[in-house]
Amino acid sequence: MATPTVPAGWTDTHCHLDAPEFDADRTAVVERARHAGVTQIVLPAVAPFDFDTVRELAHRHGLAYALGVHPMYTGPLDDAALDALREALAAHRDDPRLVAVGEIGLDHFVPGLDRAKQEHFYVQQLAMAREAGLPVLLHVRRSADSLLKHLRRMPEVGGIAHAFNGSAQQAQSFVAQGFKLGFGGAMSFERALQLRRLATELPLEAIVLETDAPDIPPQWLYRTAAQRTAGERSRNEPAELPRIAAGLAALRGLTLEALAHATQTNARTALPRLATLDAVEAST
């Protein structure tokens, strides 16, 4: 069997294109990304209210999407949200643009979140991903060890640890579980020493790129609280990915072409349906 051709360019493995920050110019955001060389964007859902939205956006713009319940949205929800996810995964199981279950995970940073409830949603969604044969997009914020505990019980589930910012040991544990680690704008800050060290020293085959747009703006877009109050914008968007990638290439001493090929390959290893989409789009 011939090896699938990896498209030239970049894949943004995590972008919330449905966010209200993009309401005024969403189509232009996608066009700017494509003009910058971003060939694919993955749109994760955060709760049942946006399942249809991310799916519709993916189909309208030729992108990919994931369905899941974000840990920060679990507060007012009950198991009906899990039932809605199960039904949506079943209804769209043959949709090649559905590439993962996500964004799911645990958040141990934001105060006031119910950790037991988050864990319940996380474990149930891992099981759904395993049943559906899909990888997961993991929210990891001061919660790596708890996430890994449950992943070890479900070794069949792989995917991407989104916006990874843990220790080297935790990074190695995710990689050992078959996960890729998402790096984005946070890596562009010179004071992010641990993150930049990880981005430099991890095996190249462990790394995928992302923006988490409109969040996690890179250093050149960052605005202080005072600047934001004064009306200055710090919105991130997928078109920034090549510049983020250039910073990583410089850290690792790679050419942009080598990094693009590696990270495109890694994204398709983590999210295999992306390769199916490549083949579909190449034939049209």
Q: Which tens digits make up the pLDDT trace of 2-38?
A: 445 788 899 999 999 999 999 999 999 999 999 999 9
CB 137 within 8 A of CB 157: no
Q: What is the phi/psi pair of residue 36, to 5°?
A: -80, -5
**Domain boundaries, given as residue ranges, for the chain:** 10-277
On whether 150 is known to bind a ligand per the annotation, the reply is no
On whether 16 is known to bind a ligand per the annotation, the reply is yes
Coil, strand, or helix at residue 134?
Answer: coil
CA 222 to chain centre: 20
Each of the 284 residues of the chain gets a pLDDT tens digit; together they read: 344 578 889 999 999 999 999 999 999 999 999 999 999 999 999 999 999 999 999 999 999 999 999 999 999 999 999 999 999 999 999 999 999 999 999 999 999 999 999 999 999 999 999 999 999 999 999 999 999 999 999 999 999 999 999 999 999 999 999 999 999 999 999 999 999 999 999 999 999 999 999 999 999 998 887 887 777 778 999 999 999 999 999 999 999 999 999 999 999 999 999 999 988 777 76
On whether 103 is known to bind a ligand per the annotation, the reply is yes
CB 60 within 8 A of CB 54: no
Write 256-259 long-range contacts (CB < 8 A, 24+).
259/204
pTM of the model: 0.96
CB neighbourhood size of 43 (10 A): 26
On whether 120 is known to bind a ligand per the annotation, the reply is no
On whether 261 is known to bind a ligand per the annotation, the reply is no
Each residue of 108-135: pLDDT tens digit?
Answer: 999 999 999 999 999 999 999 999 999 9
Rounded Cα–Cα distance for residues 201 and 199 (Å)? 6
Classify domain 10-277 at the CATH class level.
alpha beta
On whether 139 is known to bind a ligand per the annotation, the reply is yes
- 147-168 burial, b for 16+ CB within 10 Å, e for fewer? bbeebeeeeebbbbbbbbbbee
